Amino acid sequence: MLLVSMHISKGAKHQQEAADQAMASRRLRQREGWAECGGCRGDILQSSHKEEDHTCCGAQQQREGDPKKIGRLMASEENFVTVVGGHWLMALPSNKVRRLSLQGGDSKYKKGMDGMNFSHVRSLTLFGSLTLLPSNSLKFGIVQVLDLEGCNDFKKQHAKEICKMLLLKYLSLRRTEIDKIPKKIGRLQYLEIIDIRETNVTELPSTVCQLERLVNILGGNKRTRKALRLPEDLKKETMKSLRILSGIEIDEGSAAAVADLHHLTELRKLAIYKLNIGKGSKLFRELSSSIEYLGGYSLHTLIIDDESSEFLKLLTALSFPPKILNALELSGKLVDLPQWITELDILTKLTLSLTVLTTDTLLQLSKVKTLFSLTFSLTSAKVDSDTAATIGENKADGKIIVPASGFEELKLLRFSAPLVPLLTFPDNAMPKLERLELRFSNLGGINGIENLQNLKEVHLRIHDKAGGVTKSMVDNMATAAREDDKGPRIIVDQYHE
């Protein structure tokens, strides 16, 4: 077994083992509300009830460089994390374990872990199968952080045991097999974050509204558009701390919940993965009104996937569009670019449906001076005859021309669609662009890539069943890049759907 505070043996295992330690420690720190400052590399304590407190220390700076020191320093800080499993075998820890990461492995670890003292564990992270989890590990009420992301063999009994962990603040069941949240979740009065993304959970029980400290609700599956239905009553009196509401579905049965969105004035991120409401209905207008209202408070990120495109059309005519967005994503059959997007002064990340991609659209977006990342996407499931016709009509002379000026801060440009049209980059286009990503099964081509003065990397992801012409084009680009030492690096890989 592995204890982070042990001496690391000599040899090639040093860096890998220390990196494992650092990863486990970093993941636990993040789950407990810690982040890392990008400037000084210091720690930032992210409180859900106050602004960020920032503290820096020399030890944090020393972690950079030697990966062997990373694990030791992180482990030495108050015995921050104990990791069981992985590369080392040793005696069980005799000290009080407060933050524990179980790395999995075969069943031989389980017998040893059954004898461990879990009574002082405050953070528990598991990698692998829940069958390896000691039977007594979920029965101690002192646990505040429980991270079971990606674990297999999740049973109903596990959900029941979790609802008895009354001091729990962070709960991640992401990518587990859970399909229903028990009503007794309402007993977890200290719960601040619940992550049930990429699970089979499609509805939250009404008892979630009793959780006054709840800050983040993370649900749904963005890729498959599986979404989370909200309780009918969000209870403005108790849900006022909510800051992130992600992966939700809005349908005709959500009238009460949509009306209550007005009261979530602390909301910073709203992500709607599925819309199923009638054009011109009262709910249609209420949702639009809620977005306008929240945009005047703290809303920084807005994501809407509207397959019918009717609500997206309404968004183009908002009377009071959100002004402080730094991230916006509009997916569906978007035809016209909302003009208010070009007026967003702090927008850094923008994702739009490929159906709105035209030379004129790029000209308008080039005026957004703060834009750092720009993505045009469209899944193959959404490409019907009307959508294909729209994409065809958008191309002027069969190509999309990037403006020769503007996009002053853009560093990342992405295109993800079955068909990516011919892209042309003239002289002086996108002067700070560093990375270009394309995901496609049919590529029209790329002209003028040599004009992107700061481009460092081109990532081409091609469908494994793409046509011969497209594959030949990609091969030629990769060959040319290998022969040009001064040009950008080109990475080619395949995907399957």
Q: What is the CA radius of gyration of the chain?
A: 25
Collapse the DSSP code of 70 into the 3-class scheme (helix H, G, I; strand E, B; otherwise coil) and give the result. Answer: helix
187 torsion bin: left (phi>0), alpha (psi -120 to 50), beta (else): alpha
At residue 17, what are phi and psi to the nearest 5 degrees? Answer: -70, -45
Inter-residue contact 470 to 441 (CB < 8 Å): yes
Strand pairing report for 53-55 and 43-45: antiparallel
Residue 373, domain member (yes or no)? yes
Contact partners, residue 23, CB within 8 Å, separation at least 6? none
Residue 109, domain member (yes or no)? no
* Global pTM value: 0.81
Q: Which long-range contacts (CB under 8 A, 24 or more apart) does 88-95 make?
A: 88/1, 88/2, 88/3, 88/6, 88/17, 89/1, 89/2, 90/1, 90/2, 90/3, 90/6, 91/1, 92/1, 92/116, 93/3
Residue 153, domain member (yes or no)? no
What secondary structure does DSSP assign to 285-334, as a single string? HHHHHHHHHHTTTT--EEEEEESS-HHHHHHTT-SS--SS-SEEEEEES-
Collapse the DSSP code of 450 into the 3-class scheme (helix H, G, I; strand E, B; otherwise coil) and give the result. Answer: helix
Residue 226, domain member (yes or no)? no
Inter-residue contact 206 to 228 (CB < 8 Å): no
Q: Which long-range contacts (CB under 8 A, 24 or more apart) does 106-111 make?
A: 107/131, 107/132, 109/1, 109/84, 109/85, 110/134
Inter-residue contact 182 to 159 (CB < 8 Å): yes
And the tokens for 182? 């028990």
DSSP-derived letter for residue 493 is: E
- Please tell me the predicted confidence (pLDDT) of residue 82: 75
What secondary structure does DSSP assign to 209-261, as a single string? GG-TT--EEE-SBTTTTB-EEPPS---TTT-TT--EEEEEEEEGGGHHHHHHG
Classify burial at 22, counting beta carbons within 10 Å of its beta carbon; exposed 0-12, middle 13-18, buried 19 or more: buried
Residue 99, domain member (yes or no)? no
Residue 55, domain member (yes or no)? no
At residue 471, what are phi and psi to the nearest 5 degrees? Answer: -65, -40
Q: How far apart are CA 240 and CA 319, in angstroms?
A: 26
Which residue type occupies 303? I
> First-to-last CA distance in the chain?
39
What secondary structure does DSSP assign to 175-212, as a single string? TSS-----GGGGG-TT--EEE-TTSS--B--GGGGG-T
Q: How far apart are CA 438 and CA 344, in angstroms?
A: 26
Residue 405, domain member (yes or no)? yes
Helix (H) or strand (E) run with residue 67 in it: helix 67-76
Residue 346, domain member (yes or no)? no
Measured from the Cβ of residue 241, the count of other Cβ atoms closer than 10 Å reads 17
Q: How far apart are CA 305 and CA 480, in angstroms?
A: 38
Which residue type occupies 119? S
Inter-residue contact 286 to 255 (CB < 8 Å): yes
Give me the number of domains the chain comprises: 1
Closest CA to 245 of 262, 277, 267: 267
Digits of tens for pLDDT over the chain (497 positions)? 333 332 333 343 344 444 545 555 555 555 555 444 443 333 333 433 333 334 334 333 333 444 434 444 444 344 567 777 765 544 555 567 788 888 765 555 666 566 667 778 899 888 888 887 776 667 767 899 999 999 999 999 999 999 999 999 999 999 999 999 999 999 999 999 999 999 999 999 999 989 999 999 999 998 888 999 988 766 666 788 899 999 999 987 777 788 888 889 999 999 999 988 877 778 888 898 999 999 999 999 999 998 877 888 888 888 888 889 999 999 988 888 999 999 999 999 999 998 899 999 999 999 999 999 999 998 755 555 565 555 556 554 568 999 999 999 999 999 999 999 999 999 999 999 999 999 999 999 999 999 999 999 999 999 999 999 999 999 999 998 888 888 899 999 999 87
Collapse the DSSP code of 284 into the 3-class scheme (helix H, G, I; strand E, B; otherwise coil) and give the result. Answer: helix
Q: How far apart are CA 464 and CA 292, in angstroms?
A: 43
Q: Which domain, by its residues, includes 401? A: 365-497
Q: How far apart are CA 371 and CA 327, in angstroms?
A: 9
Inter-residue contact 270 to 245 (CB < 8 Å): yes
